Each structure stands twice: as structure tokens, then as C-alpha cells.
Amino acid sequence: MATQYSQEQAVQLLKQTYGYEQFRPGQQKVIHQVLAGHDTLAIMPTGGGKSICYQLPAMMLEGVTIVISPLISLMKDQVDALGQLGVESTYINSSLSYQEEQHRLQGITEGKFKLIYVAPERLENQSFYRILSSVTVSLVAIDEAHCMSQWGHDFRPSYMNIPSWLDSLPSKPVILALTATATLQVQEDLQLHLSILPTHSVVTGFARPNLQFQVVKGMDKRAYITKYLEHHQSEPGIIYVSTRKEANQLADFLNKKHWNTGVYHGGMTEPERTASQEDFLYDRVQVMIATNAFGMGINKSNVRYVLHYNLPKNLEAYYQEAGRAGRDGEKGECVLLFSGQDIRTQQFFIEQSEADEQFKKNEFSKLQKMISYCHTEGCLQTMILHYFGEEEEQPCGRCSNCLHEGESQDCTKEAQMVFSCVKRMRERYGKLMIAQVLTGSSNQKVKQFNLDQLPTYGLMKNQTLKSVQAFIDYLVAEEYLGRTNSEFPTIKLNELAVNVLLGQQKVMRRVEPEVQRPEEQDE
């Protein structure tokens, strides 16, 4: 199959049929793989252009393409749109009369259609199966494929039957799974269920070149926000907070300072929420202070900034909320105000939830990555893209880390001290205890566990407890150290740390200007 279709043919067809000059990067790769006969997982954001990834191969391949989609209401639109382009397609679902359904099934056997849209439930229908067995199915596109994963946000049991249905087909079609859900877990799940090679996953298009990401630490949050708003007079923006109480308190504070703010959270009545949303939409209020209840369905394109007053629970949530800035393509700022106390709040939320242990563990691990985002010195946009599995090597050049001026310092020696201390403590303790041992604290627990007898006790006694803790955070963020996924995480050595201990790798860190950090209260 590999040599049968050329890239030129595909580009030609793109121009002819759709009138587009070129493929987006992800599309090209996906289509190339599909035409080469490789089962493929395509992950692109909403609006990224997933439809073309299966429609175009469908036109080029012989036989039919089955498109499995959970969205019955959208099938008709897709079929109509294809009709406009001169491509014969149809959908079979429960909205059709018996006669109409028979008519369309007949059409399939006569080879009238290139694409057939169905809901997953249809696959179990015997007469549909018989008809498909009489034609060549070249490609099966699974739209909204995250519905197959329990880790996805929209799991549907009917999607679980797709793999066995695929196996039951008389000849094996190429499989193309598509989704906008980009977490690694969902990806891995789909690869597993559909036997897609990791190397045949294509993740693209999640970068937001008009957004500038910032992490700000050690500030007085209210003072920061007051100042920030002064610099962003008359620009619409959102401030996300983690609780309803916090939303009301911050709104009161800002209203007293004569800022025109609105509030939105799950504790308000439906009419209150609608009114608040509309005030923001029509620029009657400038700043929206909201919990994560504010999001679904907001369609305001000129949001210029999204501030996070508290730490979000994970990077998916963060990127989705921050991503509400700059939807018009103009510049937007996404600022996360970090304080150590917020970690506790999020840990508490996870601990209190009714979910099972494995799910909680998973949430702790996601939270850990969120914390690492706050402590990394690498490019923030790149870190987010890596989290979603996108291979992006170029730093963005815009985020607060990319723009940070200042030298890096070799701190390999200090890192080695920390690592050997972690090792001596048998990787059984958390950040605070390690920092206490290194600074030679006379804390009771340190004595009780005989940790003051360790050769690493007091190795860093010229440093403050806070600065050693911050250094450990940094080493975790850069993945020299790992943290267990639990409410009281313990620190362990990663392979990178072993390399440093062996003298095979250096640890560099930014030199920070000497500032007093009034608020920091890390655990």
C-alpha cells in the first residue's frame, strides 16, 4: 500500500476539494501514515482539523470508510458538508425511518458512498454487520476516541466494544482514532485498546503562540492583583480562585477598591450565573472572579488575561482555563500566582473525594506535575506541550522563564548533598524532613529517628530551611527527584540524580536576585 498514494496526490485533492493551499502539520503526518496503512492515533485540539484527516484518505482509498462518532446531531451536518464538496456519504442512526435506513443500507451494498457515519451502538447491529461484510472497509475512523478510555472525561461503554468489532471484520481496515483529549494516560489507553504503536501517535497543534505564560512566586497576592489591574485598565480578564468563599472575598476586596468585578461560582442560582456571565460578555464588568464552574460555554474572544489566584488541580484544568485568554488571536497573559499553602488545599480535595485509591493516586500524580510547572526553570509552554505528549523542542521565547534574565549557576555540589541525603534516609521521608536533616535541625522527629547520626546531617547548615526546601522543589520539578503520589509524599531518587551522584551530569540553576519573600509558607 505504501507506494500507492503520493503526498502530491493528497495535496492536490486538498486544493481541489476543499480549496485549502496546504495541510496543517499534523494533518499531513496523519494522512501519510493512514495511506501507508499504519493504524494511527491523532490528537489535535478542537478546531485543529481532524475531519480532513479521515475524509481525504476516504476519498483516496478504495471501498468505504466507516466513521464512528457519538454525536448523532453532527452526522447530518458532516454528510451535508461533504455533499457540498461533491463527496458521497451517508449516516445511519436511530433518527432514520425504517424505509430510509433500508434505502441507505442498499446504497452501501451498491457502493454509492465513500464515507458512512455511525454511532458505536450501530456496530452491534447484525444486518449492518452483514452488509459491511459484503463491501471493502478500508478505513475505520473513530472520532472522539477518548470515549474509549476510563481516564477520559467522557467514557462511553459502547466504545469499549469497538476493538472486538474490529477484530470480527472479515478483513482488517486501517484504524484512525481521533481526539482532542491529550493526556498521556488517555493516549496510552487508546494505544493499548486499539494496538496502535506509540510511534504512530501524532500529537500537534496545542501551542498557543499568542499567549504568554507566567508563574509568580512569593508575592502578596492581593497587592499583586491590585497592581496588575492598574496596569490593565479597561481590559477584560478572568481571575480563577479555588473556592466560592475566596471568590466572594476577593470580589469584595476589589469592589472596595472600585474595580468593576463580577462573580461566578457553583453556589449561585442559575439566573444569577447567567446574569453574571452576560455582564462579562457585554463588557459591563471588566474582571470576572470565578471558580472552575466558569468555563463551559463561555464565548468571549477578547479576554486579555487569565490570572490564577490559586493553584489549579492539574495541567489539563490549568491549560483549559488559561486558554480562555486571547481566543481572538491577540495577545493574552496567563499568570499563575503560586503559594505553597495551595498545595494543601488541592491535596485535601483529592483526599476528601469519594474516588477509589487508584484514582486518587493518579490525581496526586497530576497535582505533582502541576506543582513542578510552578518550580521549573524551563520554558513553561514547552512543559505544557510535553505534558500533553507533543514533541516541542523549541522554547517559546515569551514565557516568564524564557524571558528571565540572569545567569545560571553550577549547583552540582549542593545537588549531590541533597541526593546523598535522600539516599541515606532510604527514600522514606518527605521534603521537610530532608531539609531539616541537611540544615542540621534539632527537631524532635529528626532525633527520634536518629537522623542526626547520618553523615549528611547538617551538610547545608549555612542555608535556611526554606531555601533548601525550595531547592528540593526545583530538583523535583526538573525530575532529578521524584515524589510519591500520596497526601504525604516521600522523595526518591530518579535516574538523573544517580547520574549527578556519579559525576556524569551537572545541575544548573538560575541565580535569583536577593528578595525577601514575605508570604511563603511552604509545608
Q: Which residues bind Zn ion (CB under 5 A)?
A: 379, 381, 395-396, 399, 402
Pick between residue 181 and residue 286 the one whose CB is nearest to ligand ADP.
181
Q: Which of 52, 115, 175, 196 binds ligand ADP (CB under 6 A)?
A: 52
Give me the least distance between CB of 89 and Zn ion, in Å please: 43
Give me the least distance between CB of 55 and ligand ADP, in Å please: 8
44 binds ligand ADP (CB under 6 A): yes
Instruction: Pick out residues in 21-40 that bind ligand ADP (CB under 6 A).
Output: 23-24, 27
With CB under 6 A as the contact rule, which of the stretches 46-54, 91-99, 252-260, 321-329 interacts with ligand ADP? 46-54
**Pattern of binders to ligand ADP over 449-468, x per CB under 6 A?**
--------------------
What, of ligand ADP, Zn ion, none, does residue 402 touch, CB below 5 to 8 Å by kind? Zn ion
148 and 162 Cβ atoms separated by less than 8 Å: yes
269 and 298 Cβ atoms separated by less than 8 Å: no
Residue 497, class by beta-carbon neighbours within 10 Å (0-12 exposed, 13-18 middle, 19+ buried)? buried
Give the angle subtended at the CA of 183 by the CAs of 177 and 189, to the nearest 5°: 55
Residue type, 401: N
Give me the least distance between CB of 152 and ligand ADP, in Å please: 16
With CB under 6 A as the contact rule, which of the stretches 47-55, 272-280, 395-403, 447-455 interacts with ligand ADP? 47-55
Q: How far apart are CA 163 and CA 168, in angstroms?
A: 9
**Pattern of binders to ligand ADP over 92-131, x per CB under 6 A?**
----------------------------------------
Give me the least distance between CB of 320 and ligand ADP, in Å please: 15
Pick between residue 74 and residue 402 the one whose CB is nearest to Zn ion.
402
Pick between residue 206 and residue 259 the one whose CB is nearest to Zn ion.
206
Give the angle subtended at the CA of 84 by the CAs of 76 and 50, to the nearest 5°: 65
Pick between residue 89 and residue 456 the one whose CB is nearest to ligand ADP.
89
Q: How far apart are CA 385 and CA 388, in angstroms?
A: 5
Task: Find the distance separating the first CA and the last CA of the chain, reported in whole Å.
Answer: 59
With CB under 6 A as the contact rule, which of the stretches 19-27, 30-38, 83-91, 435-443 interacts with ligand ADP? 19-27
Pick between residue 46 and residue 450 the one whose CB is nearest to ligand ADP.
46
Which of 265, 270, 267 shows the shortest CA–CA distance to 238? 265
49 binds ligand ADP (CB under 6 A): yes
What, of ligand ADP, Zn ion, none, does residue 55 touch, CB below 5 to 8 Å by kind? none
Which of 131, 121, 181, 176 shows the shortest CA–CA distance to 151? 181
Q: Which of 32, 43, 48, 90 binds ligand ADP (CB under 6 A)?
A: 48
**Pattern of binders to ligand ADP over 248-277, x per CB under 6 A?**
------------------------------
Query: Dihedral of the CA atoms 254, 257, 258, 262 (nearest 10)?
Result: 10
Q: Grid coordinates in use for 207?
A: 501551542
Give me the least distance between CB of 18 and ligand ADP, in Å please: 7
47 binds ligand ADP (CB under 6 A): yes
512 and 452 Cβ atoms separated by less than 8 Å: no
In terms of residues, how long is the chain? Answer: 523
Which of 159, 181, 184, 162 shows the shortest CA–CA distance to 173? 162
Give me the least distance between CB of 369 and ligand ADP, in Å please: 25
Q: Grid coordinates in use for 381?
A: 509552554
Residue type, 307: L
20 binds ligand ADP (CB under 6 A): yes
Helix (H, G, I), strand (E, B) or coil at 187: helix
Q: Which of 46, 73, 97, 171 binds ligand ADP (CB under 6 A)?
A: 46
Residue with cell 549542593: 414
Query: Dihedral of the CA atoms 37, 43, 48, 49 (nearest 10)?
Result: 20
What, of Zn ion, ligand ADP, none, does residue 379 touch, CB below 5 to 8 Å by kind? Zn ion
What, of Zn ion, ligand ADP, none, does residue 488 touch, CB below 5 to 8 Å by kind? none
Helix (H, G, I), strand (E, B) or coil at 409: strand
50 binds ligand ADP (CB under 6 A): yes
Q: Grid coordinates in use for 220?
A: 502578596
Q: Grid coordinates in use for 190?
A: 487508546
For every residue of 469-498, DSSP letters joined together read HHHHHHHHHTTSEEE-SSSS--EEE-HHHH
Give me the least distance between CB of 20 and ligand ADP, in Å please: 4
Give me the least distance between CB of 224 and ligand ADP, in Å please: 36
Q: How far apart are CA 264 and CA 273, in angstroms?
A: 6
Query: Where do contacts with ligand ADP occur on this chain (CB under 6 A)?
Result: 20, 23-24, 27, 44, 46-52
